[in-house]
Amino acid sequence: MTGNSRSPSTPAVELGLQLKTERERSRPGLPRGYSKAEIPRNIISGRTLLDIEQGRKRTVRRGLVRDICAFYQTDAVLIENLVTLADATYMDDWTDAYSGAVDRDGWLYQQREDRAARLKFHDSNFIPSLIQPESYIEMIRRTTRVNFDQPAIDWHHASRFRIDRQERWLRSQRPMTCLIGEMAFAVDLGEAASKDLRNRMLQSAALPFTDIRVVPFHAGRYDLMGWELNLLEFTNGDEPLIQIKSARGSGFLPVRSHRATFFMQAFSDAWDMSIPVEEFLS
């Protein structure tokens, strides 16, 4: 299927949402930002801007995005993220061909997660970050060793990012399902951190909008073993967003692809063989 008959891609939808947010951002003397009529027509018409903001325009030129952002006086980092999204609107399969560039520093994924109606996570080796206690985050910092040449990790920023993300999710009370492999609980954290982890798991499981389950060792091998899977579901008509990570590769998956179908079914199968975390910890 080609042309405008296809549904809008995630980059086009996200680009539109971000440009609308940037247009409506409060400025000195403009508490509600700009109206569409105030954007100079030599940059873009009101109708075209509306189509972009509503995700109806499948492709958007990077030069147009730069011109719009120059008028808005947009932050330089955000401009580069938006330009990358504009480039992605031209990709037939942005998830395979462009996902690494689009999701530089996790920006696209985080924007989508903050608006998802339901969150589903699986990890067979680590506790998903939305329910990590601070002592677990500290364990990651303390035990991480980087043996190749790369800029030093800003651990204060990384820790604050995790905590802020947790706080946003808790305030939103969006439903979340977590499937965790028993291996994630086998890491020797030390007595104090292990106690923190146990308390956090039980506190999180008691929330009315969470479902935390463990895939025990006795369940045997299962299709998702070794994979980290983030599955975001939306209620506004947007397609689910699937992000996978493992030693074998990582990135986004086209939701209608064979691989996406495999991972969604694998999540369901893993849920069937899991037990509530309260039962596991007892």
Chain mean pLDDT for the chain: 88
Distance of alpha carbon 101 from alpha carbon 200, whole angstroms: 34
Distance of alpha carbon 210 from alpha carbon 175, whole angstroms: 6
The better pLDDT of the pair 46, 98 is held by: 46
Indicate whether 51 pLDDT > 50.
yes
Indicate whether 206 pLDDT > 80.
yes
Indicate whether 48 pLDDT > 70.
yes
Over residues 10-28, mean pLDDT = 93
> Which amino acid is present at 269?
D
pLDDT at 4: 38
DSSP 51: H
Indicate whether 140 pLDDT > 80.
no
pLDDT at 106: 82
- Which 3-state string (H, E, C) describes 77-110? HHHHHHHHHHHHCCCCCHHHHCHHHHCHHHHHHH
Backbone angles phi, psi at 120, to 5 degrees: -130, 130
For residue range 88-111, list pLDDT tens digits in order: 899 877 876 677 667 767 888 899
pLDDT at 75: 94
pLDDT at 149: 55
Confidence band (pLDDT; 50, 70, 90) for 134? confident
Give this prediction's pTM: 0.82
